[in-house]
Structure 1
Amino acid sequence: MMLPLIIEIVKHHAEGEITNFIKVWSLVFASLSYCFFLSKVVPGGVSRFLAIIPVLILNLILPLSLHTMHLGGSSAFFLVWLANFKLIMLAFGKGPLSDPSISLPKFAAFACLPIKSHQITDPGKDPAKRGLKSFWNYLAKALLICLFVKMYDYTDLVHPKLTWVLYSLHIYCGLEIILATFGGLAKALIGIELEPQFDEPYLSASLQEFWGRRWNIMVSKILRPTVYEPVLKCASRITGRRWAPLPAMVGSFMVSGLMHELIFYYLGRRLPTGELTAFFMLHGVCLAAEVAAKKLIGGRWRPPRLITGPLTIGFVMATAFWLFFPEFLRCDAVHKALAEYAAVEAFVKDVTYAFASKSAHNNTPSVPLQ
């Protein structure tokens, strides 16, 4: 009953949302241009950080102008998390933005998009593993999303937990397509080599593999220099180098949880409950325990992937059902996403009908007046 109403609201506000989206990203480019030229004249350190603080605050405010899941949610992720973390690194002369040879367009792309130049970071990487995945990979995932959307019409006939499984697959496929779309645009416009943001996480055989090498790779690489390495350095003085990675992992997951709370606030405009932070803290502690166990065993025994794979994915799904999806549903993300799909479909139909009507009108022979 609620979905048709949401569709009408989305259709009514679509034009204003697109206008706001253009305004937001025009301001983003202007603020990033300021940071680009600022980094040329102000040395890295406290002075540069103080000069960048207004941009960090602006990036927190701008997503509040957007209300859709796809435009607003992706903009919040790009600005509040990616851009702000990279700008903090820039303030202290670190990260990809501190490269003195980088151009302004590449500076803007690296700042707020989930991309990373292999020419700068991974010159020796296997070329077969560079760039986006195949077109057919993304097409298959787009078709899966279409299938999920149709299956949602019958969710009242199945167990709610099965519906949540569909949600998890939908989130994964949707995120990969959104990130690949923005990455593909950056590649087409400024010619940079990209890397996939996901590496088939359902094949993970451990939490370390899932979070470190397969799920949302760019976030892991941002958390490493901004959270993991500083905590590692401080913890090394207390625990020694051997065990310092454990609190560094937990600290990284805590920050990730807080950032997810913030992103979900932009999606639903609801105050956080702490469940997302609890989800990531739980995984941080479990990952630290896993790494500690590996250190103690020292590689003398390793269980087969046939066992650890299902256990890993099962643990991720079970904890997501417990702590993650309730928050996802609380911000009404599913209904909003479906309404946006329907609004886009209606827009395409209207445009197609308008062009067809105009073509038919132009092809109608005129009747001479008698």
Structure 2
Amino acid sequence: MDGELKNFIKVWISATISIAYCYYISARIKAGVFRLLSVLPVCALFLLLPLFFSSVHFSELTAFFLTWLANFKLILFCFDQGPLVPLPSNLSRFICFTCFPIKPQQNPNSPTQISKWVFAIKVVIFGVLLQMYEYKQHLSPTVLLVLYSLHIYLELEFALMLVKILVFITLGCDLEPQSNEPYLATSLQDFWGHRWNLMVPAILRPAVYTPVRRLAKRIMNSDQALFSGVFAAFLVSGAVHELIFFYITREMPTGEVTWFFVLHGLCTATEVAVKRTSLVQRWPGVSSPTVSRLLTVGFVVVTSGWLFFPPLIRSRMIERLANEAFLSIDFVKHKLFYF
């Protein structure tokens, strides 16, 4: 654990120095290809940094904040787009805006305003989940799938809560919400665009969807261009997820998670195209909120169990997450007792 913490410090010092270079050097280069060339070495470094960890937690978080968020934001910054434009007033803001999904509002809600009961309930649920791993052999595949899903969701919630507090203290800013009651989604477009992992669509929309749709309009009609933009965003998301899965499992990609996003990209694009016609009006039952929610959530759950979770289960990554959580708890207890 001590070695991983030292690696964590080294990695984030390297990241801070690299982002400072972008702030002081790259920002002075005219937007366009030359600024992009100056930033590409930093992007390449951010692709390598998650490999410095053996811990699943550190690899996953570093990959998410640097390989995904920071790299996409820096590429947008090269063309005077994205959340780094206009240039933040100081280096600390530039670093935080680069690495974290920050929502620069004037009067953000303090993290302390979040219901203590809600947070306490989540902590209790997480503790129960960890204990359930001891009875893993007695649980059905469906129950295990729910267990794994909740585990990943709650760990991300706790990590983002810590970042949220630090960002609020240092900058007085809030984080973009992670999700918005995804179980209430009435369509795939609603689920992926407005309810689940909202910080990712906020990056993919200007970085992939908009430019691809704009280029496609030159050779296609508007519906085909829209389809191309949606599909391209899902394809890129699948490729990045495949990379993150490699960081945390250290196994060669199988393509399953990419196919998961390709499937959802095709279905979402088709859904958008169908909505633009009068076909939906012929089946009023399908447009019922209750029915559409069941169909949407059911489709996400079934396809996740088919394509998204198998690589994680085969690599025993979820169990490693649980073991690391126990080790972290023991490490903190030992340090507190020693102190």
Aligned pairs (5 A) from 1:16-31: 16-31=3-18
Partner of 1:115: 102
Matched, 1:309 2:293: yes
Q: Tell me the equivalent position of 1:75.
A: 62
Shift of 1:117: 1.4
Report the equivalent of 2:323: 339
Aligned-partner Cα distance in 1 for 2:203–2:146: 28
Aligned AA (1:332): R
Amino acid at match of 1:143: V
Q: Which residue of 1 aligns with 2:81?
A: 94
Deviation at 1:135, TM superposition (A): 4.0
Q: Name the CA distance, whole Å, in 2 between partners of 1:155 and 1:177.
A: 23
Q: Which structure has the higher relative contact order (CA within 8 Å, separation 6+)? A: 1
Gaps of 5+ in 2: none
Q: Measured at CA, do residues 241 and 49 of structure 1 come closer, stay the same or move farther in structure 2, by a change above 3 Å?
A: same
Inter-partner Cα distance in structure 2 for 1:345 and 1:45: 47
Among candidates 219, 231, 244, match of residue 200 of structure 2: 219
CA distance in 2, matches of 1:25, 1:160: 38
1:290 alignment partner in structure 2: 271
Could you tell me how far 1:69 is from its partner in structure 2? 1.7
The aligned residue for residue 245 of structure 1 is 226
Give the residue type in structure 1 aligned to 2:319. Answer: H
User: Counterpart in 2 of 1:264?
Assistant: 245
- Map of 1:85 onto structure 2: 72
TM-superposed CA distance for 1:240, in Å, is: 2.1
- Aligned pairs for 1:147-166 within 5 A: 147-166=128-147
Q: Does 1:350 align with 2:334?
A: yes
* SS of equivalent residue, structure 1 residue 96: coil
| Percent sequence identity over aligned pairs | 43
- The offset of 1:298, in angstroms, is 7.8
Report the Cα distance in structure 2 between the residues aligned to 1:100 and 1:285, rounded to whole angstroms: 36
- Aligned CA distance change for structure 1 residues 153 and 130 (closer, same or farther; 3 Å): closer
1:323 is matched with: 307
* Structure 1 contact 186–192 (Cα < 8 Å) conserved: yes
Are 1:131 and 1:195, in contact at CA under 8 Å, matched by a contact in 2? no
Q: Which amino acid aligns with 1:304?
A: S
User: Residue 244 and residue 139 in structure 1: after superposition, are their counterparts in 2 closer, same or farther (change >3 A)?
Assistant: farther
What is the CA–CA distance in structure 2 between the aligned matches of 1:30 and 1:326, rounded to whole Å?
A: 38
User: Structure 1: which 5+ runs fail to align?
Assistant: 1-13, 356-370
Distance 1:175 1:222 in 2: 18
Counterpart-to-counterpart distance in 2, 1:213 and 1:131: 25
CA distance in 2, matches of 1:138, 1:90: 36
Q: Secondary structure at the match of 2:219?
A: helix
Partner Cα separation in structure 1 for residue 153 and residue 113 of structure 2: 16
Q: CA shift at 1:57, angstroms?
A: 0.8
Which residue does 1:11 correspond to in 2? none
The answer as to 2:25 corresponding to 1:44 is no
Equivalent residue number for residue 367 of structure 1 = none
CA distance in structure 1 between the partners assigned to 2:102 and 2:112 by the alignment: 10
Contact 2:246/2:252, CA 8 A, preserved across alignment: yes
How many angstroms does 1:110 deviate by? 0.9
Q: What CA distance in whole angstroms lies between the structure 2 residues aligned with 1:90 and 1:321?
A: 37
Quote the Cα distance in structure 2 between the aligned partners of 1:236 and 1:169: 41
Q: Indicate conservation of the 8 Å contact 1:114/1:197, yes or no.
A: no
TM-score by length of 2: 0.93
Compute the displacement of 1:133 (Å).
4.9
Residues 1:59 and 2:43 aligned together: no
Cα distance per residue 1:198-250 (max 9 Å; x no partner): 11212212111110011110100100011000111012223322442211111
Q: In 2, are the aligned partners of 1:63 and 1:75 still within 8 Å (CA)?
A: yes
Q: In 1, Cα distance between the equivalents of 2:156 and 2:88?
A: 31
- Partner AA of 1:346 in structure 2: D
Q: CA deviation at 1:128?
A: 7.8
Shift of residue 109, structure 1, vs aligned partner: 0.5
Moved more, 251-260 or 110-119: 110-119
Tell me, yes or no, if the aligned pair for 1:132 and 1:194 is still in contact at 8 Å: no
Which amino acid in the other structure matches residue 309 of structure 1? R
TM superposition score normalised by structure 1: 0.85
Matched, 1:200 2:181: yes
Aligned-pair RMSD on alpha carbons?
2.2
Given that 2:88 and 2:94 are in contact with CA atoms closer than 8 Å, whether structure 1 keeps it comes out as no
